[in-house]
Structure formats: structure tokens, C-alpha cells
Chains A and B, each alone.
Chain A
Amino acid sequence: MSRRRLDRGAGLGLGAAMIWFSLLVLIPLAAIVVKAAGGGLATFGHVLTESETRDALLLTVKMSVLVTVVNVVLGTLIAWELVRDRPRRVGGAAGVGEWLWGKVRVVVDLVIDIPFALPTIVAGLVLLSLYGPHSPLGLHWAPTTQKAILVAIAFVTLPFVVRTVQPVLEELDTDVEDAAASLGAARFTVLRRIVLPAVLPAIFAGASLSFARGLSEYGSLVLLSSNSPHRTETVSVRLFAFIEQSNTESAAALATVLLVVALLAILVLDVVQRRVARHG
């Protein structure tokens, strides 16, 4: 491998990127870890052995995993529906049904980002009125059941997988699929051998984002979850309590644990993705 010098423009770009990244991400993260380390290992031990905090952590991880699985399946499906399954023009004009589906697709494509745009506290309020004691659907999940937490996290993480998979599907050339089909491959085989390997990295990228976001969700749970110890209290709420009690060491320790969990999850997802890609 030959050594290459950065030219002036690239050097400037790299410098600016690194400084921006450091100011926003590296320095604050380092500060959290340093703060947590300041309390010593005892703080970590205390945070992890206290049953209320441990249950909050387990609950949050469990909910985030469940939602991520749902997102992987349904998010990919939504992306597929948005990009493919276009009305086939079999000999001339498309039917009314197909025309209608085209319009619905445009609306769905616009609306799918709303969970990103909506302040999460508003999302919590809306979901509370839909799934709370006055539920018009008769689903009285909020605020006392874990289903309410599932709904909240699913709502705020919905766009991740859809938006990572969609552009990849759009770029994917259908010629290869047609060729495979013409050689006698069944539809499922085409999906598994041609489409899936291409979109897999995008699915997993979306899954990591979705999981990490689920771990940290706070705003929508403020109203939607009852925060009962051991049952519906999530890590973010517990963390907030530590901060309010000026117990910054415990807060930093718990935040560090969350960072490690998120990092592990991203690593695991990466390894799984490579495995799946290899064995298709």
C-alpha cells in the first residue's frame, strides 16, 4: 500500500469534520465516561445491583429488541410496498384500484417521516388519547401496561428501517431479477438470493438506529408510561430521576452502561449481517 499525502482541500475537509465531530460527539461522550469513572467502580456496582435500576434497564432493552424486530420486518415491507409492487401496465391503462394505490403510496411516503418531525411529548399525548383510559379503540394499554411502552417506541422508530431500505431498493436494477426469473428461479429464490443481499446492509443499519433510539426514548414515555418501579419504568426516566437528585455520578454510570449496550448491539448486528450476507 502506497502512502498518499492529503491534498490541501481534503486536509481542510478532514480537519473541519474531525473538529465538528469532536465538539458534538467525542468530547461530550468522553465527559460522561470520565464523570462515571470519577465515582469509581462502586458507582457502577451500585447502579447495576439496585433492583429498580436493573429492572428498568432490562425492560428498556427488551422493549427495544422487540420493536427492532418488528421494524425490520414491517419497515422492510413498507419500503418494498413504496418502491415496488408498482401497478403493472398489462396492455394499456391501469385500473382504478391501481390508480388509487398510487395515490395512497404518495401520502404514505409523505407521512412516514412524521414521527421524526413531531415533538415526542406530543406523540405521547396523541398516543395516550388513542391507547389510554379514554381510548376510542377500546385499547386501554396506557399508562399502566408495558404494551404502551412498546407502542411509544415503535412509533418514534418507525421511519428508520423504511428510510434506510427505500433508497437502496430504488437503486436496485430489476434487470438482474428478471434475468434470474427467466432462468427459472422462483420468486422467493429471487428475493432471497438477489434482493435480500443487496438490501441487507440497509436493513441492519436501520435496525441499529432503531434499537439505539429505542434505548434512549424519553419524551413520549413521559405521559404514556406510568413509571411504576419494576414494571413500567424505563432507563431514561430512571436517569432523569438521578439527575434531578443531583446524583450525577449514578446518572453518568447508567448513561455509560447504556452506551456500552448500544455499542454491543451495533457490533452484534454487524456480525450477524456479515454472517447472513455470506451464507445468504
Chain B
Amino acid sequence: MKSIKVTAALVAAGVLALTGCGSNSGSSSSGTLNIVGFSVMEQANQKVFAAFEKTAAGKGWQLQGSYGASGTERDAVLGGQAADEVHLSLQPDVAKLASAGKVASNWADNATHGICTDSVVVFGVQSGNPKNIQTWDDLLKPGVKIVTPDPGSSGSAKWNLLAAYGAYLKETGSDAGAQADMKKFMANVVSWPSSGRDATTAFENGTGDVLLSYENEVILARQSGQKLDYVDPSTSLLIENPCAVVKGAPKAADDFLAFQKSAAGQKLYVETGFRALPGVDVGQVSVKGANDPSNPFPTIQNLQTIDKDFGGWDAANTKYFDETNGILTKLKADSSQ
């Protein structure tokens, strides 16, 4: 018996020794900055990281990205994953980090209201747009197959479905009308992948006629040589991805966040398909993969926003995505019965 105790003590000591090391040094002017982002940011951030490391503020710092679904990354940071800055898909994910004390409670009190990147919801279509999809009404036609990620597991899906709801609400003028249209919409959804990226991959492999997606995600796919087209609908929703510095991070994290929002940082994001933040002038940028690279971001006639048209994320989450009573949750659950 004694020997078992000795072994246990040895192993326990070993575990303690392993977990004991690896504490972070406080205020320094060089080291590694851990950036935690939602999956779409992975490719977009590469150039931004490299550019920041060349600035005066970023000198001596090495940026390291960790990416995944917005909710997964949120939980990873809550669980103690090393993070100096977070850049997630949905405002509530950062708000949750703030209420857990990981992020300052006033994280959104700044010129961009805590937003780092903007995009809009668009229709991805198969090469040449064989079904001639142009409007939200086209998505309701019998036989049109829609791919959009699962709102239960994906932040980008929530943007997509709210964009659809907002468009139908505007057309029909009533919640009842919008819900009737959403019912037809849901019946046309042939696949609910777990994330925006999975949805793009499934679509590229031939699933569906229409992919609801972020404009930047589709442009990026086209930059990577994927054969798909896209249509900017005349009514859409402005996608706003929040970012915040994690408490206790070195000052360089604040500098990086400022760089992301600066004209230089936004220009790099614009090149990968994002729309520039309001008030930031990035000048004339040619965007490869856009329908018209010299005029990459046509004005959306009716561009709705989460705050103006849906009362903010807290209200929208309760009304549309509550696990049991959300309007869209219920419509989805009934869609294939």
C-alpha cells in the first residue's frame, strides 16, 4: 500500500510542477500577444498581424491567433485560455466576457461602440447564378435550396436569419407576414451546417442554390479560387463584429486594437472583403474577388442594423433566438416536420 501512496505523491508533484510554470510577465515591451478571433478572421488577420508588428507600437511583439466559432472561443477564454484581445462575431459573446470580469465593463464605450469589423449579409450563388436569385422573394420559390448555418451553434447564422426576417418584415409590413415568409424560407433550407465556414465548404461542394453568408466570407472564398458568385440584395443587415482588450493584457493589446480600427488596419480588412468602419477613409481600394473590384461595395438601399431595427442584441436574442420560445427557434424546429 505504501508504494501506491509514494507513486501518487510523485505523480501529484509532477502535475503541480507542470502547472506551476508558465506564468506571464506583466508590463513589458516585447513578447507574444494572443489574439482570439472567430473563425472568419483567420485569413483576414494574417496581413494585419504582419503590418502591426512593423509599426512603432508593435515593434518587438509577435501576434499569435487562435480561431474558432464565436461561442467556442468565448467559452475558451472564460475557461482560462491565454488571450490579450478578443474579436468575436456577436456582441453578446463579448458582453458575456465583460460580465464575467474578463473584459472591462466599459469595453463598448468608444467611437465604434466596440466594433472592429463590418460586413453585410449577401446571397452566395452557384457559378453563373443558374437559378437567377436576385431578391429575398426569390428564396421563397418552390425548389430553391438554401444553405445557412445553424443559429443554435453559429453566430453568423443569427445575422443571416435576422437579415431575412428584416427583409420580409419590410416587405410585408407585419410580424405575421414576416413569419409566414420565414416559414417558407425555413422549408427551403436544405442544410444547417454548424458554422459559417462549414456552410461555405458544403456550398462549394454543390449543396444548395443559395448560401446565406457574409459578404467578406464570399469574397474571401472567391479570392481563394472557389467558383461561386454572389448577389448584394437591396435589403440587408449590417454585420458588426465586436472586439475588446482582455483585462491585464499589456498595453500593446490596446495598440493593436487601435491599429485594427485605424485607416491602415481597415484598409487591410477591406482588401479581404470587409466593409470599412463608418467614418474611416481607406481611400480607393481594389478588392480582388468582389463582383466589381474597382467598386467592391455597392450601397445597399435598405441597410438595417441590429440596434436600430431589432432593438439591440439582448432584445433580439430573447425575441428571436430564445431556446424554447424564440420566434426563429420555433420556426426552425417545425421546419422539417
Contacts and interface: CB of A to CB of B under 8 A. Distances in A.
A16 B71 contact: no
- Indicate the size class of the contact surface on chain A: 35 or more
A129 B335 contact: no
A14 B4 contact: yes
B11 A143 contact: no
A134 B96 CA distance: 42
A240 to B, nearest CB: 5
A245 B323 contact: yes
A134 B205 contact: yes
Interface in B6-31: 6-8, 11, 15
Decide if the interface of chain A is mainly helix, strand, loop or mixed. Answer: helix
Nearest to B201: A223
A103 interface: no
B153 interface: yes
Contacts of B207: 128, 132-133, 142-143, 226
Contacts of A243: 71-72, 75, 153
Contact of A223 (B1, B72, B190, B202): B202
A230 B336 contact: yes
Given A16-B7, A240-B153, A227 B191 contact: yes
A11 interface: yes
B153 A241 contact: yes
Interface residues of B, number: 38
Contacts of A144: 190-191
Interface in A227-264: 227-231, 233, 237, 240-247
A226 B192 contact: yes
Contacts of B202: 128, 143, 223
Contacts of A230: 333, 336-337
Contact of B4 (A11, A128, A132): A11
Contact of A231 (B152, B154, B332, B336): B336
A164 B8 CA distance: 33
Contacts of A128: 202, 205, 207
Interface of B: 1-8, 11, 15, 69, 71-72, 74-75, 96, 150, 152-154, 189-194, 198, 201-202, 205-207, 323, 332-333, 335-337
21 contacts: A11-B3, A12-B6, A19-B7, A128-B205, A133-B205, A222-B194, A223-B193, A226-B190, A227-B150, A228-B336, A230-B336, A237-B194, A240-B153, A241-B150, A244-B69, A244-B71, A244-B154, A245-B71, A245-B153, A245-B323, A246-B96
Given A19-B8, A246-B74, 19 more contacts: A6-B3, A11-B4, A12-B3, A15-B8, A125-B205, A132-B205, A143-B191, A223-B193, A223-B202, A226-B207, A227-B194, A228-B190, A228-B192, A229-B335, A230-B333, A231-B336, A237-B150, A243-B71, A245-B152
